[in-house]
Amino acid sequence: MGLRLLGLARGPIALASKSPRRRELLGRLEVPHFCVDVDVLEGDLEPGEAPEDYVVRLSRRKLAAARSAAEEGGAYVVLAADTVVVLGDEVLEKPVDKADAARLLGKISGRWHDVWTGIALHRLHDDRILTHAERSRVHIDLGDAETRDAYIETNEPMDKAGAYGIQGFGGLFVPHIEGDYFNVMGLPLAALRALCLRLEADEAR
């Protein structure tokens, strides 16, 4: 049922991601999938590169890294995604340590920022690849430095773009969001369904 509602003719999906949030979302949808841990270069934003182009480029890189394992596992499609936080013209990725997390949270607290997620789908039998970039706007306010430090001590910020997770403790500090909540988690579900429907429409022609 999950596959049909998602818009795919069959499965499974090979998820090219280490993100437990993305794995959780596919599990909630009862979509048959397996995970391929990929180690790819990140943080190589090119001068003048738009954040939406950057996250799509990284997603395509993850597709390529996962292809062999996906084929061995009998996947129908490979799904990859990458998420960044953008404040003004600055792209904020995952913190390298707790001091960096404090720096990032200090930057975004009390301000609006953008969350961009790039998603890429690769249908293996015909090498068809479709991509999409989704944007949401988020206002987060962690108050004073003591609150930020307490949040960092939960370790939740350490593997997340912009150093917060909206689905966890971080959600306590997000009073406003414009756009797809799941995009902020790292996998925009409505956009993913639209991409799957496009993929299968191409097959039907």
Is the peptide bond preceding residue 12 cis, with omega within 30 degrees of 0? yes
Give the separation between CA 154 and CA 170, rounded to whole angstroms: 10
Asked if 82 is an active-site residue, the reply is yes
Instruction: Judge contact between 113 and 147, C-beta under 8 A.
Output: no
| Relative orientation angle of helices 98-108 and 145-152, to the nearest 10 degrees | 130
Own/partner contacts of 168-172, CB < 8 Å, gap of 24 or more, are 170/140
Phi/psi zone of residue 16: left (φ > 0), alpha (ψ -120 to 50 degrees), beta? beta
Strands in the chain per DSSP E: 13-16, 33-35, 77-87, 90-92, 111-123, 128-140, 176-178
The residue from 39, 82, 126, 141 that is catalytic is: 82
Catalytic center residues: 82
